[in-house]
Amino acid sequence: MPVPKTEFDDVRSFDLYEPEDVLDDDMLYTIPELARLLQGLPVDAELSDFNESVFIDWAIPWMIYNQDDLVFAEPDDDEVVGLYGLAET
């Protein structure tokens, strides 16, 4: 059900980070790590399953939107789907 904005003291603008503002040029990250970075958290921050899921839901569209600025590699570890980082500019 929609909620009136007036019920909240803190309604903020919706800002998305540029990839180079979040990612290290020389590193590749998993999607959960990217999701944490986009929230201003360390890549190894402990999150509940719910929070991690929500953060990942935000990270994937961000990755698609910024696809021209990103690269990926397939890791040797079968437990990791992919690693993502900045494209060389």
In DSSP terms, 83 is beta-bridged to 73
Question: Can you tell me whether residue 86 is helix, strand or coil?
Answer: strand
In which band, very low, low, confident or very high, does the pLDDT at 22 lie, cut at 50, 70 and 90? very high
In sequence order, the 6+-apart residues with CB closer than 8 A to the CB of 60 are: 31
CA dihedral sign, ordered 34, 37, 25, 70: positive
Report whether 43 contacts 29 (CB < 8 A).
yes
Q: What is the pTM of this model?
A: 0.82
Give the model confidence (pLDDT) of 38-82 as tens digits: 999 999 999 999 999 999 999 999 999 999 999 999 888 777 788
